[in-house]
Structure 1
Amino acid sequence: MNQMKKTLSLGQVVLFGLAYMTPIIVLGTFGVLAVTTEGAVSGAYLAALIAMLFTAHSYGRMASAYPVAGSAYAYVRHAIDDRLGFIAGWAILLDYLFLPMVIWLIGAAYLHSAFPAVPTPLWLLAFIAVTTVINILGLRLASVVNSVMMLVQILVLVAFVGLSMHYVLGDPTQPFWSLTPFLGADSAATLPVLMAGAAVACYSFLGFDAVTTLTEETKDPQRTLPRAILLITLIGGLIFVVVSYFVQLAAPGHDFANPDAAAYEIARNIGGDIFVSIFLIGLVVGQFASGIAAQASGARLLYAMGRDDVLPKRWLGKLSRFGTPLGGLLLSGVVALLALTMDVLSAASFINFGAFLAFALVNLSVIFHYYLKERRRGGMETLWFLICPLIGLGAILWLMLSLDHLAIMLGGAWLACGLAWLIWLTRGFSRPTPELHMDG
């Protein structure tokens, strides 16, 4: 059997994870977060970062214990139970299936701000159609192109922060150091408000665990991957906190003409027409590339599940003549039409419900694997394998309950559908739980 060469270093894995997270998303969602937190975007990101670090620790521990593809699904299945593992996989499917919808919705909102004569739904349909056709034809973005796009994002972020700092320094009434971006105007943001914002801000962290798919190509994966997951979460989180801090200083409060595309309005204020054009190009290119990758990944997962008869094989378990998962790509495009009735806040919150469910189960997996099964209960081991994952679990559950009611209702409905499907597949749990080959 041929095996992939283990060539990736810690730095390369970290760069992959940061690219997958798409750092420029901090600008894409700034407006909705400012409204949700009443002007305390940095505080929301800081709260989200603290919560995510505990979950990242749990992912790292499980990646070390089970260096296999499948991430949350594989960890829960091996550490706790096959049926609960299926539910974790179902939660991951929510993210894969609906993530392209949110990406395209954000891109459409910004293009509509730039070209208001063209309705948002038309931009959304264009995103869906072009991306789906590209993926059906099998066009893959080369690693060089992805690296260039990552560089574009970083340059746009640096320019945005630099112009925000220049804008603030030009206003003698605006202090350069302030707690306002963390606590809101007049320090009025309450803890529930900050946690509601953090629940949305976690959308920016999605993908920190994607590096677990690189297990077979990473040098010393049992040591490298846990470190990489923590570094990706920490570096990405610090980028989000710093960028949102200076942008919030340049645009205090939360009064925007269009919160879904607030950064477009801010870019014009701090840099004029030329910069707003550069910003728009950077954000749309980043969203377009991210949408291609997200739709391709989701369709690949749907194909794998269809091939294994976990989902209808007739529709999802076959490849097109181009060698691409046609059924999954078309389903992803159809699902994205739901964005015509949703805004960025509702769509991102819905996505986060699935992520939070998977995160909670991974935290539980650490306790089951290390503390209960392996009985690793020494002084520091109790800290790492019981207390830390319990804190991570509590933080994730708090964030989940802080989502808006629509997201909780939709997420609960998705979870109920998964449970009903599992009962049907196992004929009332009288048959073995089907195994999901989530490495495709």
Structure 2
Amino acid sequence: MPSQKTQKMSSKTSLKRSLGIPTLVIFGLAYLVPMTVFTTYGIVNEITGGFLSSAYFLTLVAMLFTAISYAVLSRKVSSAGSAYAYTRLGFGSKIGFLTGWTVLIDYILLPMLNYLLIGIYLNQQFPSVPGWVFALAALVLVTTLNIVGISAVKSANVVIVALQCLFFAVFLLVAVRSFQSGVSPLDPFFRSDFELSAVAAGAAILCLSFLGFDAISTMAEEARDPERTVPRAIVATTIIAGIFFIGISWTAYMAFPEVITGPEAESSAVIMLANIGGNFLTSLFLAAYVTGATGSALASQASVSRILYSMGRDSVLPKRVFGVLSRRFRTPVGAVLFVAAVSLSAVFADVDTVASLVSFGALTAFSLVNLSVISVFLLRKNVEGTKSYFVHGVIPSIGFLLTVWLWTNLNMSTLVVGVCWILVGLGYLVFLTRGFKRPVPRMTGA
């Protein structure tokens, strides 16, 4: 039996379990970044022919089944979890490694997506300045802060969240007053020109809007009664986020039903806001969005650089590049600069391509998490009663089929690049294990 001294030492070194369901839900919603509803507003509106609300509804349904699978596995893995941890449990270390590798494409490309959108929206407001100039300036600023250290920037998160809340309050007030009299409340969901294939293609891209509900599982070691609170918070966050996205897109259509196509589609959110609220709403949006995107880029670049550093430290990636800290700043400079180098592609990339690749990684991971539930419970016969078969068999099967369906609705170039990324990961795994003669390394932090 451990001594009183040992128990005290253990309590000091373990994470404090202080998070309840409300706190976890707020964490999940903050991680989702509510302003992301405008990230893909234009391209998905164009793809679906104006059925953005329907696409969000379809995405919510698919994500809800997947969220339940995450909730189920979070009870099984009470430590900090992720798609990587769950697929390791379901299918072993090799599939777990490839899942972590696939999700890595999301982490690496998210900063680029933020820089790209900062450039697009600021160029819309200041057309005399090329968008790549704004994107490059944001990249240099964020990269510098990540190298020097970002402790001084943490307090800015409060301002960023408050500014977003202010914008949404003003947007709803202005938009409701601008509703078009000839538009039916059902028009954002269904009209005579509704095409399910187009809506599914849009829904596949919108999966990136839900990236983050799974982040709640990483807080398992700091949650009170994690087997109860974490699963409920995951599902609640998914539902709340979905309702919010549907509500904002529905409101936007009721006030501005036009669908903008062509080169202006990527920045059509600004055009929509200018039409219903003029310069005031547009300026407030740019302030909220650019600060939010900068904060998101700062957090995502810091996060992925730490993941790459952990992988370098564990010799999963070249240690000399990724596994070394700066002696002066105590930050993973090599990993930070690598992410910045990848993000330079924002000068040439477009929102559709980057968003689709992020969704590819997410949908692949979500599909494998659904299958992991079936593997852990059904195939290993850890089920008892009809309810258990429904929760551990029917729900993850539907979730898997829906995510695969959305996955196949991504454009062909995205699928080719995504599959190539997985094949590179497989080849790298063969190299690391010397043809699977050595143990598969753990991807710390993935």
- Bin the TM-score by the shorter chain: over 0.9
What secondary structure is seen at the aligned counterpart in 1 of 2:441?
A: coil
Q: How far 1:151 moved relative to its partner?
A: 2.6
Q: What letter is aligned with 1:391?
A: I
Match of 1:32 among 43, 58, 63: 43
Q: How far 1:367 moved relative to its partner?
A: 0.7
Q: How far 1:262 moved relative to its partner?
A: 1.1
State yes or no: 1:400 paired with 2:411: no
RMSD: 1.5
Match of 2:362 in 1: 355
Q: How far 1:154 moved relative to its partner?
A: 2.2
Q: What letter is aligned with 2:324?
A: K
Match of 1:166 among 172, 177, 181: 177
Match of 2:79 in 1: 68
State yes or no: 1:330 paired with 2:341: no
Match of 2:280 in 1: 274
Contact 1:302 1:328 in 2 (8 A): yes
Q: How far 1:30 moved relative to its partner?
A: 0.8
Q: What letter is aligned with 2:254?
A: L
Contact 2:260 2:268 in 1 (8 A): no
Q: How far 1:158 moved relative to its partner?
A: 2.5
Match of 1:203 among 208, 224, 230: 208
State yes or no: 1:265 paired with 2:287: no
- Residues 147-166 of structure 1 mapped to structure 2, 5 A cutoff: 147-166=158-177
Q: What letter is aligned with 2:310?
A: A
State yes or no: 1:369 paired with 2:376: yes
- Counterpart CA distance in 1 for 2:43 and 2:305 is 28
Match of 2:308 among 287, 294, 302: 302
Match of 1:77 among 88, 94, 115: 88
State yes or no: 1:289 paired with 2:295: yes
What secondary structure is seen at the aligned counterpart in 1 of 2:388?
A: helix
State yes or no: 1:45 paired with 2:56: yes
- Residues 169-208 of structure 1 mapped to structure 2, 5 A cutoff: 171-172=180-181, 174-175=182-183, 177-183=184-190, 186-208=191-213
- Give deviations 1:311-362, integer Å, cap 9, x for gaps: 1111000111211111111111111122222211111001111111111111
- Counterpart CA distance in 1 for 2:208 and 2:267 is 16
Contact 2:213 2:237 in 1 (8 A): yes
What secondary structure is seen at the aligned counterpart in 1 of 2:288?
A: helix
Give the length in aligned residue pairs: 433
State yes or no: 1:17 paired with 2:28: yes
Contact 1:305 1:317 in 2 (8 A): yes
Which segments of 5 or more consecutive residues in structure 1 lack a partner in the other structure?
none
Match of 1:389 among 367, 392, 396: 396
- Give deviations 1:173-213, integer Å, cap 9, x for gaps: x23x4222113xx4312111110010011111111111122
Match of 1:428 in 2: 435
State yes or no: 1:226 paired with 2:231: yes
What secondary structure is seen at the aligned counterpart in 2 of 1:182?
A: coil
Match of 2:318 among 312, 315, 323: 312
- Cα–Cα, structure 1 residues 336 and 403, in superposed 2: closer, same or farther, change >3 Å? same
Q: How far 1:109 moved relative to its partner?
A: 0.7
- Counterpart CA distance in 2 for 1:280 and 1:166 is 21
Contact 1:30 1:41 in 2 (8 A): yes
What secondary structure is seen at the aligned counterpart in 2 of 1:181?
A: coil
- Give deviations 1:31-74, integer Å, cap 9, x for gaps: 11100111000000000000000000001111110022340111
What secondary structure is seen at the aligned counterpart in 2 of 1:346?
A: helix
What secondary structure is seen at the aligned counterpart in 2 of 1:69?
A: coil
Contact 1:28 1:283 in 2 (8 A): no
Which segments of 5 or more consecutive residues in structure 2 lack a partner in the other structure?
1-9
Q: What letter is aligned with 1:362?
A: V
Match of 1:87 among 98, 109, 113: 98
When structure 1 is superposed on structure 2, of 201-210 and 233-242 the one drifting more is 201-210
What secondary structure is seen at the aligned counterpart in 2 of 1:342?
A: coil
TM-score normalised to the size of structure 2?
Answer: 0.94
- Residues 137-148 of structure 1 mapped to structure 2, 5 A cutoff: 137-140=148-151, 144-148=155-159
- Counterpart CA distance in 1 for 2:218 and 2:149 is 20
- Give deviations 1:375-415, integer Å, cap 9, x for gaps: 30420111100110000000110111101112111111111
Q: How far 1:144 moved relative to its partner?
A: 5.0
- Cα–Cα, structure 1 residues 392 and 288, in superposed 2: closer, same or farther, change >3 Å? same
Contact 2:216 2:234 in 1 (8 A): yes
Contact 2:207 2:362 in 1 (8 A): no
Q: What letter is aligned with 1:348?
A: A
- Counterpart CA distance in 1 for 2:378 and 2:154 is 40
Q: What letter is aligned with 2:325?
A: L
- Cα–Cα, structure 1 residues 15 and 141, in superposed 2: closer, same or farther, change >3 Å? farther
Match of 2:6 in 1: none
